Structure 1
Amino acid sequence: MGTIVEGEGTDQVNGYGGEKEPGGEHGGPLTQEQVLGIKETWAVLAQDPIERGADLFMKIFEDDPDLKKLFYFADEGRELSREDQRMRSHGERVMEAVGAAVDNLGDLSPIVPVLTELGALHYKYGVQPNYFDTVGAALIYTLETNLGDKMTPDVRQGWVQVYGIVGATMKKGMQQAMDQQNMGKTCP
């Protein structure tokens, strides 16, 4: 995977394989203005990754309550609170992963193996590729509600592209895990 920044390198990643993500289509590489906007807006959210992670997961579960069944911290039949320490811890780890993507906007190749492994792990937990749409929409919502007018349309589109690339990379890891599992079933 190369760069997603306009004018850097020759292997430009155009987003989520042409798929539509929450908020719009993925276009070409990020502009320098989008990169700056993403970094500036991330600096705001990174001040409290635990709270922002809680915001994210509360929105995910509001939008698709069925996803709770996938998480160790969402015990069946128990009302989940944003104060649940297990959820807050998981949300913080997700926000750290987002931060890693932001830190590597110029060259995502250092985080591709980690994202691919995360995708394979999520496959083993029963995550379906379409769940990434719910998470993407919840991330954009979390950004918008916490950033207000700092979340300009241009910056928003940049975030959609970054999430699209992260999601696509994780989906590739999921597909690889599925392929390996299927190959194990067919080989003697």
Structure 2
Amino acid sequence: MVNELSYNTISHVLESWESLRRIAKWEEVAGVCLFRKLFHRSPPARVLFGFPIDIDPDSDDLRFSKRFVTQAMYMIQMLDSSISMLGPDIDMLSEIMSELGAKHSRYGVQPEMFTIMGECLIEMLAELLPNGVSTEAEAAWQTTYKELSQDMIRAYVS
């Protein structure tokens, strides 16, 4: 569970996320990068977000779609809210992730899609952070994302 993460793990995640937040228009830049990676790796995700399965993730039609940019930014804002709770509000985070998991289940998100999203998240960070992602930070993100997503996936079976 997410509330069992170590101080060191949380520190690496918070530090790298704070670096991301220093990028101009960071929510849009990070969201678009993340969604493009997701849409490349998982064409069914395109449909879940209301786009045709055959849309090119690199097309200007998608990149400049208001709906695409809005959804991409919303995803980053949700991640930002979750990450901000890794500190003093970590005990509430598992409950929130469980509720979010129940919503994702209703949206048709398959549990295996969480793994793909986690991989895309780390790739996005590696691409956008000025110094990339250190081995320690990557491991921290893998652990943190796994715990967050497992809290969500538990809602699928309960």
TM-score w.r.t. length of structure 2: 0.82
Matched, 1:54 2:35: no
- Partner residue of 2:108? 126
Aligned to 1:96: 77
CA drift of 1:105 comes to 1.8
Amino acid at match of 1:120: A
Q: CA RMSD in A?
A: 2.1
**AA paired with 2:73?**
E
The runs of at least 4 aligned residues of structure 1 exceeding 6 Å deviation read none
Q: Which one has more relative contact order, counting CA pairs under 8 Å at least 6 apart?
A: 2
1:26-48 per-position Cα deviation (integer Å, ceiling 9, x unaligned):
xxx4343x433322211222341
Q: 1:161 aligns with which of 143, 147, 156?
A: 143
Contact 1:53 1:94 in 2 (8 A): yes
Scaled by the length of structure 1, what TM-score is found?
A: 0.70
Q: In structure 2, how many angstroms separate the alpha carbons of the residues matched to 1:75 and 1:2?
A: 34
Gaps of 5+ in 2: none
Q: Secondary structure at the match of 1:128?
A: coil
Please say if residues 101 and 162 of structure 1, whose CA atoms lie closer than 8 Å, have aligned partners that are also in contact.
Answer: no
The unaligned stretches of length 5 or more in structure 1 are 4-11, 13-28, 177-188
Amino acid at match of 1:52: A
Equivalent in the alignment of 2:6: 30
